[in-house]
Amino acid sequence: MAFDTQKIRTVLFDLDGTLIDNFTAIHRCYSDVAKSLGLVPQSLAAIRAAVGGSISLTMSRLIGDELAPEGIRRFREHFPEVMYEGAFVLPGVKWILRHLRERGIRTVVFTNKDYDATVALLAHLGLAELVDAAFGTGTEKMPWRKPQREFSEAVLDALGADPTETLMVGDSPFDIQAAGAVGVTVACVATGTHMPETLLPALPDPDLIFGNMFQLGKTLWDFPPPSPEEED
């Protein structure tokens, strides 16, 4: 492991597949949109595999380039109605966020999900009080998507964060690329859209792939084991 965690002052967390599981709602919204367009919806597994880059990329993969613009419009309109369906916090997330903040390390959400939906979900799932800032898409100030360099640069600039004192934690190659674009070290949890074998080719350090947040927190910071109430 080639970096010193004692230097880390800010941790950027991806949202879907890293901090929370929102795939039931995403699949529900996509399925409703697909049906409204006269299409047969694909499976939840297909949705999990397609999510990660941006809604434009995801919809193009699922319904084709021609229908994607209308599909995106309908998805964005419908998602607020279903976004809490089946949503839950992934194991170890609240535990690691609490311990990081106790160490004086900033916890920040950095996601391709629309900003408004991000803020609403963090509040709904009890995570808002455990993060210092959240950056999503769909705003005038943040019109980009990971892994665009401009998005990563804008987030670091808004935080006043030094890339050498920042860690990115995500679950996909998009997160790896977003971190690499600005010289930020990246660690991955295999809790979302990609398994270790699909992350390894993109990750500079294979020792920075973890099964869950408990493993990551223990390995990188030697955080104490979770209490019984923290095990979920």
Instruction: Using the 3D structure, point to which of 55, 82, 109 is the last residue of a domain.
Output: 82
Q: Which of 35-49, 81-95, 212-226 has the lowest mean pLDDT?
A: 35-49
Report helix, strand and coil shares of the chain as percent, to nearest 5.
50, 15, 35
User: Is a pLDDT exceeding 60 seen at residue 111?
Assistant: yes
For residues 49 and 54, give the distance between their C-alpha atoms in angstroms, rounded to a whole number.
13
Q: What is the residue range of 221's domain?
A: 5-21+88-230
**What confidence tens digit (pLDDT) does each residue in 59-79 have?**
888 888 899 999 999 999 999
H or E, element range at 133: strand 133-137
Q: What is the mean pLDDT of the chain?
A: 90
Q: Which of 72-76, 132-136, 223-227 has the lowest mean pLDDT?
A: 223-227
Q: Quick check: pTM over 0.85?
A: yes
Based on the fold, state whether residues 62 and 128 are members of the same structural domain.
Answer: no
Phi first, then psi, for residue 73 (nearest 5°) are -60, -45
Instruction: Determine the pLDDT at residue 206.
Output: 82
Instruction: Determine the pLDDT at residue 232.
Output: 60
Instruction: Report the domain count for the chain.
Output: 2
Based on the fold, state whether residues 115 and 160 are members of the same structural domain.
Answer: yes
